[in-house]
């Protein structure tokens, strides 16, 4: 069994390039709307509109350590090398240190090819890592399993995550479609995760609802080779750009 790679990988960028990248990401974030406001609402009077309560801004340090936890997309599947996956490229774009923990085929209910389900994996995380931000990505791998018990599995996994890293900010990155149109079960998982994240006041980013992958860019983002349907190397970079933009937007 291959253990998830939890070694920090830091990408150092030149000062001028980093400044340009940050400015570009903030501009892109404003136009892309790469995050989804949680469904939690603020009480209002009978004749007043009900507002949406946003989580606290992320407010990360410049040298933040970010744990990116997820499935094969986080692992870097279908990139020319796993280290060209979005979770690694994210470090290059932001200047953060990313610690990548991706297990192919895994989900909240489904064990993976290289390790167990999300909850079991979270229980095995090293508390000493103490990240500033945890990104939990996915997963479409639960889409063929019954919905019964799904919310309970997610809640138990997130309870353990919050207990392991009480200081960390947490951002949930919902499932992204590997095929179009979006499968109904994938859309259901996306809605369930959004609701559960809202209940905790956590940021939720929805590639499904925000149309990260569309008929117009599908061929550029997804490698459709036999048995793949994962992001290509350029697709992983595109995803990293969108995640970086979402972090920038949630930090303002």
Domains, the chain, in order of start with CATH, read: 9-250 (3.40.50.1110)
Asked whether 236 and 223 are in contact (CB, 8 A), the reply is no
Q: What's the residue count for the chain?
A: 252
Q: What is the pTM of this model?
A: 0.81
pLDDT of res. 52: 55
User: Cα(58)–Cα(16) distance, rounded to whole angstroms?
Assistant: 24
pLDDT of res. 21: 46
> What confidence tens digit (pLDDT) does each residue in 189-237 have?
999 999 999 999 999 999 999 999 999 999 999 999 976 999 999 999 9
Cα-Cα-Cα-Cα torsion 179, 182, 188, 193, nearest 10 degrees, comes to 70
Per-residue pLDDT tens, the chain, 252 aa: give them.
334 454 444 443 333 344 444 444 444 444 444 444 443 322 333 343 334 568 999 999 999 999 999 999 999 999 999 999 999 999 999 999 999 999 999 999 999 999 999 999 999 999 999 999 999 999 999 999 999 999 999 999 999 999 999 999 999 999 999 999 999 999 999 999 999 999 999 999 999 999 999 999 999 999 999 769 999 999 999 999 999 999 999 998
CA-angle at 105, arms to 168 and 74, nearest 5° = 40
Q: Which residues pair with 102 in a beta bridge?
A: 70
């Amino acid at each position: 069994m291959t253990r998830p790679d939890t070694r920090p990988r830091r990408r150092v960028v030149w000062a001028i390039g980093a400044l340009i990248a940050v400015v570009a990401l903030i501009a892109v974030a404003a136009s892309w709307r790469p995050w989804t406001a949680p469904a939690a609402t603020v009480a209002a009077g009978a004749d007043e509109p009900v507002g949406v309560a946003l989580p606290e801004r992320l407010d990360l340090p410049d040298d933040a350590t970010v744990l990116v936890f997820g499935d094969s997309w986080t692992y870097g599947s279908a990139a020319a090398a796993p280290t060209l996956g979005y979770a690694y490229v994210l470090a290059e774009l932001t200047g953060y240190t990313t610690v990548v923990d991706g297990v192919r085929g895994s989900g909240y209910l489904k064990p993976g090819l290289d390790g167990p389900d999300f909850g079991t994996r979270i229980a095995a995380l090293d508390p000493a890592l103490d990240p500033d931000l945890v990104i939990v990505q996915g997963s479409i791998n639960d889409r063929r399993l019954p919905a019964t018990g799904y919310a309970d599995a997610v809640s138990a996994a997130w309870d353990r995550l919050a207990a392991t890293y009480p200081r960390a900010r947490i951002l949930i990155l919902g499932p992204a479609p590997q095929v179009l149109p979006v499968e109904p079960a994938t859309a259901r998982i996306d809605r369930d995760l959004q609701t559960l994240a809202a209940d905790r006041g956590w940021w939720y980013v929805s590639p499904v609802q925000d149309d990260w992958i569309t008929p117009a860019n599908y061929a550029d983002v997804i490698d459709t080779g036999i048995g793949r349907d994962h992001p290509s190397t350029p697709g992983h970079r595109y995803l990293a750009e969108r995640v970086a933009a979402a972090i920038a937007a949630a930090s303002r």
